[in-house]
Structure formats: C-alpha cells, structure tokens
Chain A
Amino acid sequence: MEFEKVLKCFEAIPFFEGFTREERRFLASLDCNRLSFTDGEAIIREGDLARSVYILVEGRARVTRNKPPEVTLSRLDTGAVFGEIALLGKRPRTTSVAADGPATVLMMDGETIERLNPVLLNKFKNKLIELLANRLDALNEQLMNLVR
C-alpha cells in the first residue's frame, strides 16, 4: 500500500498519537498489507499462530471465542488496533475477530515489528500494553454489568 495513504491512516488513529512525526513516518514506511473482508469473514482465528497486529481502518469487527461462538466479547470500531495479545504474550490467538459488515484493515507483520530498533519497539509495545490494560478495564466493567 502507498506510503502516503498509510501515513494518513496512522495520523487519524489515537494509537499513534504518542509517536513523533518521524516515528510515524518510519512505521508507515514498513511493509503493511491492506486487506478487505466481507460481513462475517474471519480476520483472526482463535488458535492460529500468526503474530500480526491489525488496524481497523474502515468498518467494524466483532471479537468472539470458538465456544460458544454466539457470545460477543467486544466490538471494535474504526481506528481500533487489535491482535496485540499474540505479539506481546507470544502465544496463539486467544480469540477470533470477524468483520461486522464490510471492513478494511491494515496488517502489520509481527516479525517486522519485532525487528524495530529497541527504542521504537519499546514505545510500540508500551502502547500495546496500554491497549491491553484498557481492554482489561472494559472487560471488568462488562463483567460487572453482567453479574450485577
């Protein structure tokens, strides 16, 4: 995908706010695939070994578990970054993510991320950890509402 387009996407997404202009430009220059999905199509499959991180640039997505598949764990909106657990935790995908209506994502390769220079890698991982912490918060809230 073209550099300028990727950069424009990155600039519109809160996740990249903490990065300097140079860092953002560098991240946008990395190999990055733009993929489109139809309604219900799987973007991530629970159990898969891939480590890529995704940025939802258009549309929405749903997070589920294989069992029972009808329970939606969370909904992702345009601008969401996901797939961080496999990269940070070095483990197979813990949930599935499927397009909720037509959706477009940018896929950042996990190995490419791991090869970033240590300073940028740390910054990137810190942002992913914040993301993880926010998810914990949201899930806590969700669970409290369920069991109340």
Chain B
Amino acid sequence: MADDDILKLLKGITIFKVLTPGELKALAKMKTVLIKYDADEAIIQQGDIDLRLFVLLKGKAVVNKNENPGRILATLKPGDVFGEVSFISQSPRTANVIARKPVYALRMDGDTFDALDLAIQNKIRAELIKLLVLRLNNLNDSIVMSEAMLSYLRYNT
C-alpha cells in the first residue's frame, strides 16, 4: 500500500489525532499492511505472542475467549482500534478477534513501532492507555448499573 493512501487512512483515526502532520507521516512509513480477512477467520488468536496493532476499516469482527467461545465480549466496527494490549505491554494475546463479515484491517507492526521517534511512541501509547481506561470505566459503569437493577428487581419481585 502506498504511503499516501496509508496517511489518508491514518488521518481519520481518533487515536492518531494527537500527532502533528510530520509525526503522522513518520507513522505512515511504518511497516503497515492492509489485510483482508474472510468471514470467520481469526485476526488475533488468544495466547499468541504478536505485538501488532489493528485498525478495523471495513466489516465487522467479534471478541471472544477460548474458555467460552460462545460469549461475545465485544463487537468491533469500522474505526475501532484493537490489539492494543499486546502492542503496548508486549504480553500474549488475551482474547480472540474473529471476522464476522469479510474484514479489511490496517495492521501495524509492533517491532517497527519501537523504531519510531520516542515522542511519537509516547503519544500513541498515551492514547492507547486512555482507550483502555475508558473501557475499564465503561465496564465499571455497566456493572454498577446492572447490580443496582438486579437488587431493585430482587427487592420488588
């Protein structure tokens, strides 16, 4: 994929909005590939050690775990970033990401990320951490709400 096309795609992604035009250009030079996945194909496999970051561009994917594959933990749509946990912490994959429809995704190589200017790395890491904290916060909200609703139901039925 040409640098210019990648640059255009990267510009539209929220977590990269913090970068200056020059930094964005440097990021676009990273080993980035646009990959197509067929429906039901695994994009990420739990337990694997791969440090790549993905941006879903087209299609739909779901997150599940080997322990209970029937349980969908999250649904990913265009614009969503995923794979960030291993990308920033270099730990094995904690869940599977599976294409539900044919998926086009941008895949960024974790090793080449480390070669980027430290300022760019830190900005992106900070954005990814924000994303994680936001997810955690939303989950806490949902749990508080569900628990409150359940105890209301228990009390009133």
Given contact pairs A71-B148, A126-B89, A146-B150, A132 touches B143 in the complex (Cβ within 8 A)? no
Chain B, residue nearest A91 (CB): B133
A143 and B143 contacting across the interface, CB-CB below 8 Å: yes
Q: How far is the CA of A43 from the CA of B106 in the complex (A)?
A: 43
- Shortest C-beta distance, B136 to chain A (Å), equals 6
Q: Is the interface of A mostly helix, strand, loop or mixed?
A: helix
Q: Mark B119-145, 1 if CB is under 8 A from A, else 0.
A: 000000010011011011101101110
Q: How far is the CA of A94 from the CA of B95 in the complex (A)?
A: 25
Q: Is the interface of B mostly helix, strand, loop or mixed?
A: helix
Chain B, residue nearest A86 (CB): B133
Chain A, residue nearest B125 (CB): A125
Given contact pairs A89-B133, A143-B146, A147-B146, A130 touches B140 in the complex (Cβ within 8 A)? no
B140 and A68 contacting across the interface, CB-CB below 8 Å: no
B4 at the A interface (CB under 8 A): no
A89 and B129 contacting across the interface, CB-CB below 8 Å: yes
B143 and A135 contacting across the interface, CB-CB below 8 Å: no
Number of chain A interface residues as a range: 20 to 34
Number of chain B interface residues as a range: 20 to 34
Chain A, residue nearest B95 (CB): A137
B14 at the A interface (CB under 8 A): no
Name the A residues within 8 Å of B147 (CB-CB).
71, 146
Q: Mark A91-122, 1 if CB is under 8 A from B, else 0.
A: 10011000000000000000000000000000
Q: Which residues of B approach A to under 8 Å, CB–CB?
A: 71, 73, 85, 88-91, 94-95, 126, 129-130, 132-133, 135-137, 139-140, 142-144, 146-148, 150-151
